[in-house]
Each structure stands twice: as structure tokens, then as C-alpha cells.
Amino acid sequence: MTLTPDRLAPMANAIRALSMDAVQAANSGHPGMPMGMADVATVLFAKFLKFDPAAPKWPDRDRFVLSAGHGSMLIYSLLHLTGYASPSMEDIRNFRQMGSVCAGHPENFLIPGIECTTGPLGQGLAMAVGMAMAERHLNATFGDALVDHNTWVVAGDGCLMEGINHEAIGLAGTLGLGRLKVLWDDNRITIDGDTSLSTSEDIAARYRASGWDVFSCDGHDFADIERALGEAAASAKPSLVACRTVIGKGAPNKQGGHDVHGSPLGDAEIAAARGVLGWTAAPFEIPAEILADWRSLGARGQAAREAWEARKVADPQAGEFSRRMAGELPEGDEAAKAFAAWLEGDASVATRKASENALNVLAPLVPEMVGGSADLTGSNNTKAKCQAPFTPADYAGRYVYYGIREFGMAAAMNGMALHGGIIPYGGTFLIFSDYCRNAVRLSALQQVRAIYVFTHDSIGLGEDGPTHQPVEQVMSLRLIPNLNVYRPADLIETAECWNMALQTPDTPSVLALTRQNLPQLRTSGEMLSARGAYTLRRAKADRQVILIATGSEVEVACNVRDALEAQGIGADVVSMPCMELFHAQDSAYQHEVLPNDPSILRVSIEAGTTLGWERYTAVSRNGGLNIGLDRFGASAPAKQLFARFGFTAEAIVPRILEKLSI
Amino acid sequence: MTLTPDRLAPMANAIRALSMDAVQAANSGHPGMPMGMADVATVLFAKFLKFDPAAPKWPDRDRFVLSAGHGSMLIYSLLHLTGYASPSMEDIRNFRQMGSVCAGHPENFLIPGIECTTGPLGQGLAMAVGMAMAERHLNATFGDALVDHNTWVVAGDGCLMEGINHEAIGLAGTLGLGRLKVLWDDNRITIDGDTSLSTSEDIAARYRASGWDVFSCDGHDFADIERALGEAAASAKPSLVACRTVIGKGAPNKQGGHDVHGSPLGDAEIAAARGVLGWTAAPFEIPAEILADWRSLGARGQAAREAWEARKVADPQAGEFSRRMAGELPEGDEAAKAFAAWLEGDASVATRKASENALNVLAPLVPEMVGGSADLTGSNNTKAKCQAPFTPADYAGRYVYYGIREFGMAAAMNGMALHGGIIPYGGTFLIFSDYCRNAVRLSALQQVRAIYVFTHDSIGLGEDGPTHQPVEQVMSLRLIPNLNVYRPADLIETAECWNMALQTPDTPSVLALTRQNLPQLRTSGEMLSARGAYTLRRAKADRQVILIATGSEVEVACNVRDALEAQGIGADVVSMPCMELFHAQDSAYQHEVLPNDPSILRVSIEAGTTLGWERYTAVSRNGGLNIGLDRFGASAPAKQLFARFGFTAEAIVPRILEKLSI
């Protein structure tokens, strides 16, 4: 069946009608983009996109990413019209209302057909880069029979203007991701007005400079759209298609202006638009013949899926492929054995080095782990020996040289995890978590297993000084919901934290690791870190103090304890590698570690901001004590800095004695 | 005096010798960049840069920004060799050691000749954009006689690869900042290895696509460098000079490789380099004739400064110019009067609207306020009526359409504040503080008066949903040292917070403002917000509860109080618009607001993460109570969300009664 322009036009108008009506009913939302891109999206779904509404999670589907997530009614319309089970028309009627899966911005965890959560501008396109990387990696690993699809993106001017766009397209160009196709809604309007208010860039030239092909079309001429998308589909390079559109197309008095961007059109304008579009159906009703044309589109993808299923049955790698796509770890206890062998050998190492050793155990056993670093490979210790570089010449490689692109890296990791079949991890200095913070947040919101290896985690990095010394970063990451922030104290805890990070498929992890060496504080055995915090040292004398510390400061706490015990003051040391996991324990365990006894002084020791530690200390004797750093650091060797800022037994013991004497 | 290449070469070698020796002595640092860019920097200082070592803060000096801040020995060498009072040779000997002003990365607050703190890659160049904006604005306001200078930048591959580079150069191109000249250290090496590992970009083409001129030179040919810098100096566009260099130039066995990037050369290689360079002086000694050539360079700038001083004496605007450059606010009580008149009129408004009203009072009275928004002008309410757009056609304009460039905006604000003569403020949604977080941190570290207007500050923004709803952002910003985070509860507090933000010249401010309307809770008068927190409502019945709230939740707290009082339970309401300022009060005031009485239950109410609030609640009855949101939000109208997540008197009162009953 060939859908000619005279049949495509009413199909596109169905998107326009739903978008106008849903935004009007919600009295909130963005009609301009869905109406402007309706024609392009219709051609994409009618002629190019490989999708099967009956199987939204089919591994070899094309990925469709609405990077301009504010235009969410575009994707809700497309999914409903093509016959996905979700969203229903009832959901669309309740766009942006409590309980509807049609949230303000598209959310992958509410609707199976939505590949990723978008809205924070630029990140959809950058996640699509990760999806295209995942596709090539799995293709190189499992072959064309199982993995052979494209990633299509709809992006707006905001997605192209954000800094992350530079990182994302540079990465895609360098990696030669020819399966990535970006449809740019070139409507020359942003919220503040005409794009000329704030940009004068030659976007096509910039994309070409980054190794992309650039095509263009009249975004309201179906034949021209089909030509341009066809050229992009055929290109071996990542491709940008500049779709010249009119924002709010179809709204006769408002189209082409910035008022149509993010506000309902109003009843009068909607009535006028219906006249222009020849749309006579009631709100939220789609004429049967138009809906039938939409529903016919899935047949192409259904056939492709059935052929794929047949190939899969015959494929010797199908089991392994399915395991990886399901996000299940390999079975067996090889990891435990290998860990045990390694942990017998090591002793005093930096936790970044312990992490490297853990990777050298895990990466050979968990082939879906794909690592990388934002140009700090030798500092983050992120490259396992078994990993070859991921390059255009070898997409089977499992190590990505991301370049100096922290935000682009983190978004690509999200895209790989969302694509499935890969457990991505990536490194940078902890301080530069600031550069990719919103992507870490999107890992958490999207419930993906992305693992961030953030090294150089305190003033302990030494001479690089305050620009590079995290002070507030560890606590600020703890504030992000559904994110586990690990700060291990030695090689044993580092191994345990890596273990746990792999075992939380719906929760991303941060590993905050030291540059400096740390002593081994305990032997392996029971995975104590799994409870978030545990008693590492028990008081010998009558217990008056509990010292709670993380990471490199656990060693300091042990020294403080020894000094207190020497004075006959009993003190526990509690290591708390993961505050979130401890917070999630039952109160019986929490009180076992931190007894509800106001005669005991609780002391937190962490080389970062103290705000937040009162959760565990303030209820104790005299309000507890917080040893931390509520100012920026300084440049000097690490040991001198620890002394200068009071992270030594000599400095801490007198403060404890003073508190005990009150 | 003309310095020919035969005299420039030993001058450049002095930089190389100091850089090698200082990094070696510190056993830490980056010799590669200073050695590679020594020739270019020597030509810049010898022939182009307008500077006077005797007057590092002279307002009309050229600004020199070392964006590749890890190469800090380059700027320390230059400042010392040209005769600035700081750093001394003793400081250089103690490079990266405790107490030396020669910190790991250049810090503006340690050495007067350093224009900005660099190291977090990409931000130096982006701050330079702000400096160039400030120069053009002040030039348009005060004329060529007082303001007529260039901004020169040395940037590395990292500065160009970071996403912020795209934002910064796009802004500079659009604004036509011809006084901005960037010298790119094109050495084709990053930490991980050859740049081809991670990038294939045609950088010149990209810069041209953004409206820049691009020149190039052999970075080790003095005549060629002088030609290229001369072309850049003459260009009316922002200019990039690609300086083809060899990293670590002069170290015969290590130059050109990535090992020389960030590690000491070692004694043997230093000895070999000395041989190659013909450098025979002892470490940290500069031969007299070479030093004399360096010291001669300041004469050109000294003459320029003296001529400038003479012009200034005759300039009728000199007083106003000096006031602005000194960062002193205008004298007089016009602001107070205008505020009083406005505050009598308003009542129930969103705090973003109250902020706009405050701006309409303040902006006409404080002409150095230059505002803007990252494409959310109508949502952030950042444009005062008196402000015209800042454009190439009108640099006197005081409102910047930054485009969708949050990070670039924040860095440009830092640059403007550091340049002096401007108090920058800029807006985006609070959630996108994540995108510019490290620039906010650099505002705090650099001690500048940048004011961030972050609106849509909670689930109260409603339908846009969890991607746009800040949950952890307010608390996470509170963790940054030397940053005041204001969350005003009504129009009165908003006015007070704006007032305070203007009055902290060494501390940046964040204003977290609502989208939704809030009732007026008190009348103006004493500036109660200045103490960070204060008792807004006093208990009538016997006081059993103190409710502590911020922003939109203060209204909720007042409703809770009324419900408790109706049951005979006395409750104070404490409004805490600025936790940092309250933390800085003396304990007498703190205990006046929050009495040290364990029989009273303290309850925090804030629509964000609770971690951190225990500082003020945990010491109270039964450990206190924290009403917050420790999960992501949802899409729905604001009032429904407040009900859904328990921010109503109906939901909170029972939780309080339960706590009181224990």
C-alpha cells in the first residue's frame, strides 16, 4: 500500500488536532512543535521507522527519540494513532493530569513505547548517540541477523543550542555512527522569539565540521520530506535533516510566532485551525479512515519482527543476546572466586586502583560492561585489560575514549543502558560530576543501570587545588532520588560496591574513589557494605562515642578510635559506604549500628560539607559532632591538607573530649 | 625597542625553565602546556597585550585569561617575569605547596594579576566572553576614552571540546565581540593520547560557522606568531588563532607526547632540555639580560595607563565610572522609597513576579545591573521595563538574550562581574541550575556578585512534570560554600532578598522563585530576611511546635499553625528564606528563633529533599519531623501535587499530632 500525500495530509492533521485539543484541555503544554513537525513525523512513521506497536520492546526496532520533549503530544499522538496499547485516548484526554501516563514530558517509565525521558534540552539527542553506539556494538558482537536498526531523533533549536549538542555530535562524528538520523525542527523560533535574537550560527556547516552529512527539506512537502529522509537513511555518516517548518502550522493566526510555542491556542484559534485543516471530527475523535491508515503502518514492522524472531530461533547466540537484553547478569560464581583470589593479594591501594582491579575481575566475566572515561583514563583507572577501544574500525571494542565531554558521556551512557544489552560505566573527576549532573539525575529518573566512576573524591587529591577538590559533591549527589552514592573505604569495600552497583538494574550508582592510597581495613567475607553502613570496629572500653565515616576518612576514624581507647574512652567506628542503603534498612538494624542512646556521642567524619550529616548525629549526646569541610579546599600535598583542615586524630580527639565534657 | 626573535627565544625559554623546575620541585603539575605555548605567550606579552605590572587592577587593561588553567606555570611565569609584585620567585619555588599563592590552578583571589580562576575546562574562555561583553557595554556607556581594551585567551583542546565552548562561541559570534581573541594551543594531544582518539572535528570550520574569524600560525615561529596575532587584533570579529605547537616543546625526548601533559619531566629530561634550550642558569634563576627584556615590556602599558589616567581626570563621567568599577552601589535612599511605594500596592503574586517588580524598582536606580535569561524571559520575569536588549547595534543595552545556553550564561555572568563595572543577573528554571552548576560554584569560589534568578522552584510548577520539577536542587545549592541561596515566601521577602543579593559584593546569590501565586504574609518594615530566618507567626496557645518553612511552603506552615492553634496547640512559624545567613547568626539569635527546649517539636516543611533539614530539627522532641519530598515529582496541576505529596495542613497536622503523642 502506498500512502500518497493526499492520504498523509489528514494523518498529519490528526496529530495536529490531538495536540491542539489535549493542550487546550490541560490548559498547559506546547502545541507549536507537534503541529509544526506533524508532517515530518507522519512521513517518518509511514515510510521509514521500523516499529511494531504490538511489541514495543522488540530489541531490533528502530529507536525513536523525541529530544524536543516539550512537544510530548507529538509522541503521544504517534503511539496512540499507530496502535500501541499505551497511551489510550483516555490518557490523551487527561494529558498532564494526575495519574495520566501522558505526562508533561515523555517518560520512559510510564509508557513502554517511549525510549527515553526527554525535556531537559539536548539530552535526548545525546542519549540517541548512546543508543546508536549500543546498536553498533551489539551488531558487531551478534551480527546483522539480530541487530540491525536505526536511531531517529526529532530535535529542536534548543537541543542544538545547548552545549551538550557539541559533545554529542562530536562523539557521533568521531565514532562514525551512520545509523543515527536527526530531524531538526528548523522553525526559527524559540521561547524568547526569533532565533536571530540569540544565534547567528550556520548549523549545517557546524554539523559538517563534525563529520556529519546534512540534508534539508520543506517540512510541509511530503514528497520533499520523503526524499530528504531517504537520503539520510542511505548515508553512511550520522545525518542531520534540516526540516524547514512553521511552528504551530495550521493555526492560521498564531503559526510562525513564539506565542504558539508553549501555550494553549484558545478556543477561537482552534476553531479557525479546524477550518484551515478541514478537520470536522469532535475533539479526541479520529475519523475511521484516517485511523485505519495510521493503524496500517505497523504491518511493515510486524513483518520485520516476525522475520527477526525466525532468525533468532536459528541463531546460536540468541540465548546470550537475550540475557544481555533482559539485563540479567551472567550466572555462576566465577566473580566471587576471582574476587576472593584478588582480595587475598592486595592491601594498601587507592580506591581508584582497587576499582581498576575490580574491573579486571568483572569485565572479563560480564561482557556487557562497556567502559570509558572523559579523557582521564589513566587517572580514573577505568580501562580493564580485556577491553579494546570502541572505534569505527572495531565496534566490538568495549572501551570508549569519550574525549573531554563529561555531559555527553553521561548522556550516552544513559542511551546505552536504555537501548539495552549494555551495562555502561564511565569516569571523570568527581568535581566534574557538576558538568554532567543533570544526566546523572536522568539516570535516576529513568531507572537505568549507569555506573559513574568519579575519582579524586576530596581534598585528598592534593595539589590540583580548590577548582578540582570536591567539597559539596558527595552530599549533593546523595540528594538525588534513586541514586546510590558509594564511597568505599578500602579495596574490600570497593569490590563490594562494584558488586552492588551491578546488581541494581533500576538504580544508577556513583562510586566516589580516592586518588591517594588507603590501608586495607578489614578482610573480605560477608558483604557488609550491602547494608550501607556497619560497625567496622567495636569499642573495647565502655562505649561513649560512635565515629561514623566514609571513604578515606574511615582510616582517620580508626586512628581517632585508637587514641580514644588509649584514654579509656570506648568508641565504635561505623563505616558508611552508602548512606542511601543504610537509610533503607529496617530500624532494628539501624539501631544495632547506631543505638538510640543519648549518652553516646555520635561523630561524623567526612572531608566534605557537614550539612546532611546531622541526620545521623544530631539526636545524640549534646547534639553530636560533625567533622567536615564547609569551605573550599587549597593546593598542597594531601597529607598536609588533611592536617590543615583537621582530619587527623590530633585535631579531632580534643573536639570529642570537649563535647564529652559538656 | 624592538625585540627580535633572537631576544624573544631566551625570554620564552625562561618560561620553559621556570615551568620545568617548578613542576619538578612540586613533583606535581603540568609542564607540557607552558612549554608548548611559551613562544606564543612571549609574543603576546611583548607585542600586543596592554598591561601595567604596577597596576594590575587598572580598569582599561587588556584582560588575559588562561583558560587552560592546568598550565598555571605559564601565567605565574609571565606575571613574575614582567614584574608584577605577585607572585614572587619564592612563591614560584613553592608552586602547589601550602600557603603559596601559586596554587595548582590560577586563582583570582590569591594573585591580583589573575583575572579569573580557571581549571574547570571551557569556563575560562566562556568567562572571557563575559569580559568582552562587559568591555563593550562599558565602552558604549562611558566612551573610548575610559574603556577600550581587548580580552585575550589561551585555550587548549579541552576548552574547545567541552560543551560550554559551543555556547560561549555562539554567544560571542552572535554578539559580534570583536575584542575577543582566543589563542588555541593546537598541540593535538590530550591526557588520553592523540586528539584523534576522541575527535575528528574541523575546528576552524566550526568557529567560522559561529561567526568567528580564524587565523593560524606556527606556534614556534616568532614572526609567524606576530603576523597571526596582528591579524586577529585587527579583526572586527571574535577571532581564533590556531597556534600549531608541540606540547612540552624543548624536552627532547618527551615533547609531542601525552606523558608530558601532566607529570614532572624528571631530572634527566630536564637536564636534556636545558641542553637543547641552551639554558645554563640555576633553577629559579633568570639571567639578568633576559629578565631585563621581560621587565621592559611593562613600559608600553605604563604609558597607556598614564595617558588613560590623564583622560580620566578630564572625563565628566569619571566619578560614575569609578563607582561602578569599585563595585559600590549608588548612594541615597531612592531604592527604599521606591520599594515602599511598590510594596504598598502588591499582594498575592508569584515570587517570580515579585522579583520582576523588584527589578523594575532596582534596575533604574542601579544602572550597572545587566540582566538576561537563557531563553525564558517571560517565564523567569527577568526583564525590567527600563532595559533594552544588549546587541551588536546597541551595546549600551542592559538585557541579554542568552539563548538556550545556561552554562554559557552563568560563565559570562562571572566574566562580567570579574571584569568589573557590572552586576550581572540571569535566569533559567531552577532545575537547569544543574546545567550551569559548576559556574555557580566558580561564582562562589571567585567571590563575585553574580545573581541567579532560578524560577519554577518546586513541584509547584505543576504540569511540566518530574524532568522540570526541582526536588534536590535547593538543598544541593545550599551545600556550595560562599553562596547565599534565597527562597522567599512572598513579595516582601522577595524584595528583601534582592536587596541583600545586591549588598554582598563577594558572595553570589541564588533566588529560588515560584511559578505559582503566593499570598502576602507580612508587611514591610524591618528587613527580617537579613537574619536568614525569623519568627513570622508566634504561638498563641502554649507553644509545643515550631514550624520551619521556606518559600511557597511558608503559606502551608501558616495553615498548619492555624489548624494546630484551633486544637489548642501553640505553634510558631519560622520563615527561613536563607539558611546560610541564619547559620551565620550568633547563637543568641538562633536560640531566640529556635529555643533549645527539647519539649518543643520542630517541623521542617519544604517541597524538596529532607536530607539537611535535620540540622534544625533532629535535636528537638522525638527527633523532630521533616516534611519534604524524597522522590521525583509528577505531572499535574500544582494544587493537586501539593495535596498528593502531603504539603497541606490536612496531611501534616496528623503527622505532628502523632509525633506529639509519642
- pLDDT attached to residue A338: 78
CB proximity B107 to A under 8 Å: yes
Catalytic (active site) residue A614: no
A281/chain B closest Cα distance in angstroms? 27
Report whether pLDDT(A64) > 80. yes
- The number of C-alpha atoms within 13 Å of B610 and in the hemisphere containing its C-beta is 17
Cell numbers linked to B41 = 605567550
What is the distance between the alpha carbons of residues A171 and A426, in angstroms, rounded to a whole number? 14
Q: B-chain residues within 8 Å CB-CB of A462?
A: 28
- pLDDT attached to residue A332: 80
Q: Which residues have C-beta within 8 Å of that of residue B8, sequence separation ≥ 6?
A: B39, B42, B43, B46, B222
Cell numbers linked to A633 = 579546599
- pLDDT attached to residue B334: 78
Instruction: Please answer yes or no on whether B105 and A462 come within 8 Å at the CB atom.
Output: no
Average pLDDT over residues A638-660: 98
Helix or strand or coil: residue A357?
Answer: helix
Helix or strand or coil: residue B479?
Answer: coil
User: Pick from B103, B402, B464: which is nearest to A465 by CB?
Assistant: B103
Cell numbers linked to A89 = 485516548
CB neighbour class for A72 (10 Å; exposed up to 12, middle 13-18, buried from 19): buried
The closest of A602, A77, A95, A132 to B465, measured between CA atoms, is A95
Helix axes of A491-502 and A351-365: crossing angle, nearest 10 degrees: 40
Enumerate the known binding-site residues of B for Mg(2+): 157, 187, 189
Q: Which residue of A has its CA nearest to B166?
A: A163
What is the distance between the alpha carbons of residues A433 and A452, in angstroms, rounded to a whole number? 9
DSSP string for B401-433: E--S-HHHHHHHHHHHHHHSS-EEEEEEEGGGG
Is A119 annotated to bind a ligand? Reply is yes
DSSP string for B4-50: -HHHHHHHHHHHHHHHHHHHHHHT-S--HHHHHHHHHHHHIIIII--
Q: A-chain residues within 8 Å CB-CB of B634?
A: 98, 103
Residues pairing with B241 in the sheet: B183, B215
CB proximity A508 to B under 8 Å: no
The closest of A303, A372, A286 to A13, measured between CA atoms, is A286
- pLDDT attached to residue A343: 78
- pLDDT attached to residue B1: 55
Cell numbers linked to A402 = 569519550
Q: Are A66 and A74 in contact (CB under 8 A)?
A: yes
Average pLDDT over residues B345-357: 91
Q: Are B460 and B552 in contact (CB under 8 A)?
A: yes
Q: Are A632 and A652 in contact (CB under 8 A)?
A: no
Place of cell 514550624: B547
Average pLDDT over residues B638-662: 97
Helix or strand or coil: residue A484?
Answer: strand
pLDDT band at B332 (very low <50, low <70, confident <90, very high): confident
Q: B-chain residues within 8 Å CB-CB of A202?
A: 208-210
% of chain A beyond a pLDDT of 90: 95
Ranking A49-63, A327-341, B110-124, B427-441 by mean pLDDT, the lowest is: A327-341
Instruction: Please answer yes or no on whether A104 and B464 come within 8 Å at the CB atom.
Output: yes
CA distances from A97 to A27, B62, B647 (A): 10, 55, 18
**Is the ipTM of this structure higher than 0.95?**
yes
For chain A, what is the largest distance between any 2 Cα atoms, rounded to a whole number of angstroms?
Answer: 90
Is A30 annotated to bind a ligand? Reply is yes
What is the distance between the alpha carbons of residues A181 and B444, in angstroms, rounded to a whole number? 41
Question: Average pLDDT, whole number, for chain A?
Answer: 96
pLDDT band at A1 (very low <50, low <70, confident <90, very high): low
Helix axes of A5-26 and A72-82: crossing angle, nearest 10 degrees: 120
Q: Which residue of B has its CA nearest to A198?
A: B403
DSSP A371: E
- pLDDT attached to residue B339: 78
Average pLDDT over residues B458-465: 97
DSSP string for A211-222: T-EEEEEETT-H
What is the distance between the alpha carbons of residues A79 and A101, in angstroms, rounded to a whole number? 12
Q: Which residues have C-beta within 8 Å of that of residue A556, sequence separation ≥ 6?
A: A549, A605, A642, A647, A648, A649, A652
User: Pick from B104, B191, B200: which is nearest to A173 by CB?
Assistant: B200
What is the distance between the alpha carbons of residues A459 and A645, in angstroms, rounded to a whole number? 9
% of chain B beyond a pLDDT of 90: 95
- pLDDT attached to residue A8: 97
Question: Average pLDDT, whole number, for chain B?
Answer: 97
- pLDDT attached to residue A556: 98
* Cβ pairs A/B, distance under 8 A: 342
Report whether pLDDT(B662) > 90. no
CB proximity B123 to A under 8 Å: no
Interface test with B, best of A23, A76, A160, A161 (most B CBs within 10 A): A161
Average pLDDT over residues B293-305: 97
Q: What is the CA radius of gyration of chain B?
A: 28
Between B598 and B234, residue with greater pLDDT: B234
Instruction: Please answer yes or no on whether A96 and B434 come within 8 Å at the CB atom.
Output: no
- pLDDT attached to residue B333: 77
CB proximity A480 to B under 8 Å: yes
Q: Which residues have C-beta within 8 Å of that of residue B98, sequence separation ≥ 6?
A: A634, A635, A636, A637, A640, A641, A644
Q: How many CB atoms are closer than 10 A to CB A367?
A: 15
CA distances from A188 to A124, A183, A226, B164 (A): 20, 14, 22, 22
What is the distance between the alpha carbons of residues A90 and B129, in angstroms, rounded to a whole number? 50
Q: List the beta strands (DSSP E) in A465-538.
A: 484-486, 509-513, 517-518, 534-537
Report whether pLDDT(B299) > 60. yes
Place of cell 527589578: B359
CA distances from B282 to A473, B13, B141, B248, B656 (A): 43, 13, 51, 20, 74
Cell numbers linked to A584 = 533503607
Average pLDDT over residues B414-429: 98
Q: Which residue of B has its CA nearest to A437?
A: B434
Residue positions of B annotated with a catalytic role: 406
CA distances from A543 to A266, A540, A564, A571, B212 (A): 70, 7, 10, 5, 68
Is A456 annotated to bind a ligand? Reply is yes
What is the distance between the alpha carbons of residues B164 and B179, in angstroms, rounded to a whole number? 20
Q: Which residue of B has its CA nearest to A632?
A: B481
Q: Are strands A193-194 and A570-575 parallel, antiparallel or unpaired?
A: unpaired
Cell numbers linked to A555 = 582510616
B74/chain A closest Cα distance in angstroms? 15
DSSP B528: G
Q: Are strands B534-537 and B570-575 parallel, antiparallel or unpaired?
A: antiparallel
Is A464 annotated to bind a ligand? Reply is yes
Query: What are the phi and psi torsion angles at B513 (to 5°)?
Result: -125, 150
| Strands across the sheet containing B239-244 | B63-66, B151-155, B180-186, B239-244, B213-218
- pLDDT attached to residue A616: 97
Residues pairing with B63 in the sheet: B151
pLDDT in tens, A167-218: 999 999 999 999 999 999 999 999 999 999 999 999 999 999 999 999 999 9
Instruction: Please answer yes or no on whether B482 and A632 come within 8 Å at the CB atom.
Output: yes
Query: What are the phi and psi torsion angles at A601 (to 5°)?
Result: -90, 125
What is the distance between the alpha carbons of residues B81 and B653, in angstroms, rounded to a whole number? 69
| Strands across the sheet containing A369-373 | A399-401, A369-373, A423-429, A451-455, A509-513, A484-486
Average pLDDT over residues A43-47: 98
What is the distance between the alpha carbons of residues A64 and A83, in angstroms, rounded to a whole number? 16
Q: Are strands A189-190 and A399-401 parallel, antiparallel or unpaired?
A: unpaired
